Amino acid sequence: MGIGPESAYSAYSAYSAYSAYSAYSAYSAYSAYSAYGASSGTNPMLTEALITNRDGIVGTRIDRIADVLPGVPDSPRNLPRLALPVRAAIFQAELGPSVDLTVDTHDNLPVATLWRRTSEREGRKRKVTFHEMVEMTGPTTEQLTTQLKHVAGYARIRPDRAAEITTQVGVPTAFFASIGFMDPARTPHTLELLYTALNFSSLLIQRTKYALAVKRPIEFSPQVQPMIETPTHGSLPSGHATEAFLIARLLWKLLIESEAPQYGDRAYWGSMLMRQAARVATNRTVAGVHFPIDSVAGAMLGLTLADHMHAMCNGGAWTSAIFDAPKFDPDHDFDWHQLYTPEGDEMKPKASSDRGAWAITKRHDRHDTDETAPALSWLWTKALGEWRDLQECDG
């Protein structure tokens, strides 16, 4: 058993990669492949039938076996022939070791540091290097107490947002698919890429939440009374914000790279994806399960991880980010524009309040020794192909 995106809520099985997502399985796209019951246990009657069937037709043993070529080792060319859960496992095997997390304290506040690990490979030799990718300092209790006023204020629009909030408890694929045209038939690899990213991020989200141990609004006041169940894990960073901004930025990168004229340099696509992500994040505050500052931290983490994912797939730049929660003015609400600009797909270098800089980011250009993961490159390429316009000769 692995663990899935926070928003999937239930434990996530590496062997049922897509079944956890109702938005996806609703199309029953992959049910055709389950005829042999490969992933969900065997069908006893089918087994019995295959035995008797073989007995009936197998005949005398064939002695002369034709040439069999060996398999192609460690090659993405195998990937199209692998079941989705198998591919999911391979992708996680690439992504998982790309990061590490350490925890310490600063001024009595917990600090979680997510490290980016790059390895230079030469035969069986490894040279591993760690770079700080995300440093996140937890908020003070006073900040959260102040932020509680926002939670109370947002409660007034719960009736207005109830349908969105309840349908966004799971992965809000349908909401992003209403902007970028996704469908299991049309964009299977894009969906696979996004769920790969979510699966990867969920480990980091849970580990970071665990490290920072930030209490939920419900623990501050008996009057929060959230309209959905409060998850048992920590409040900051918001997993929904992390995942929504991760999805939004990965999609925006695909749209940009597709070079399709309608997407190419049109930042309004990126803006709309970010507005969607912010809406999902804010809805969690409306519901009463998150402080706005949780969304700030989550958005920052998600945007940073999108760059990391992209670099793992394609090489290219990645971003490091410092979120210093105590410097965030707790009277302020979440505003994603302070972190990111869709035009040029750039994170803002700095965001400050009267207390100092609470967000600092830095872009790191690709280093020659950085290696991409070929399996992930394959996935990105397949996903990108789903956004390119069809050319006349394609047919």
Residues of this chain that bind another protein (CB under 8 A): 146-147, 149-150, 152-154, 156-157, 159-160, 267-268, 271-272, 275, 282, 331-333, 335, 337, 341-343
Residues with Cβ within 8 Å of 359's Cβ and at least 6 positions away in sequence, in order, are 296, 300, 321, 322, 323, 324, 338, 339, 348, 350, 351
Distance of closest approach, residue 331 Cβ to another protein, in angstroms: 6
**Closest CB to another protein among 24 and 269?**
269
Angle 345-348-351 (CA atoms, 0-180°, nearest 5)? 155
**Closest CB to another protein among 229 and 331?**
331
Residues in the chain, how many?
395
Distance of closest approach, residue 208 Cβ to another protein, in angstroms: 25
What single-letter amino acid sits at 91? F
**Closest CB to another protein among 229 and 343?**
343
**Closest CB to another protein among 273 and 311?**
273
Torsion sign across C-alpha atoms 308, 261, 195, 36: negative
Distance of closest approach, residue 181 Cβ to another protein, in angstroms: 19
**Closest CB to another protein among 16 and 338?**
338
**Closest CB to another protein among 180 and 342?**
342
Distance of closest approach, residue 373 Cβ to another protein, in angstroms: 33
Distance of closest approach, residue 280 Cβ to another protein, in angstroms: 14
Distance of closest approach, residue 298 Cβ to another protein, in angstroms: 17
**Closest CB to another protein among 234 and 330?**
330
> Which of 250, 241, 242 lies closest to 191 in space, CA to CA?
250
Distance of closest approach, residue 160 Cβ to another protein, in angstroms: 5
